[in-house]
Amino acid sequence: MQRLTLFAAGLVLSTGALAHHGWSEYQSDKPLDLSGTIEQAGYEQPHGFVRLKTADNKTWLVVLAPPSRMESRGLAREMLKPGQRATVHGYPHRSKSDELRAENITIEGKKTELR
């Protein structure tokens, strides 16, 4: 019975680890600054996100920090709403041309560090 419990606990923990991607997937040597309009936002684990439409009509998936970090640094869920203008500074994904990991986000003149 103890082995089964340990196996189940290990399975749960490893599944969570697989769902969380590593930051090595992003090109930290090629920072980007993007400005646009939030089309969609999520304030969920393991990371929040916004879909940001830029002036060239490209929509980026911007990976943010975990909700607890965003909240503690002053980026409330209500600030990430569709139609809101935002600027992000971050790093592009190595293989997904429309994904960016944000280091910071600026909304209504308020810059929030996410790292």
Q: How confident is the model at residue 61 (pLDDT cuts 50, 70, 90)?
A: very high
**Strands 59-63 vs 99-107: parallel, antiparallel or unpaired:** parallel
User: For 63-86, what is each residue's pLDDT tens digit?
Assistant: 999 999 999 999 999 999 999 999
Q: What is the pLDDT of residues 2-55, one digit of tens each?
A: 554 444 444 444 434 434 456 799 999 999 999 999 999 999 999 999 999 999
Q: What is the pLDDT of residue 23?
A: 76
Tokens linked to 24:
């090595």
Q: What percent of the chain has pLDDT over 70?
A: 81
Name the CA dihedral angle for 48, 99, 101, 11, rounded to a multiple of 10 degrees. 60
Residue 102, phi-psi category: left (phi > 0), alpha (psi -120 to 50), beta (remainder): beta
Reported as a pLDDT band with limits 50, 70 and 90, residue 105 is: very high
Distance from C-alpha of 11 to C-alpha of 102, rounded to nearest angstrom: 30
* pLDDT value at residue 3: 52
CA–CA separation, 86 and 83 (whole Å): 9
Mean pLDDT rounded to a whole number for the chain: 87
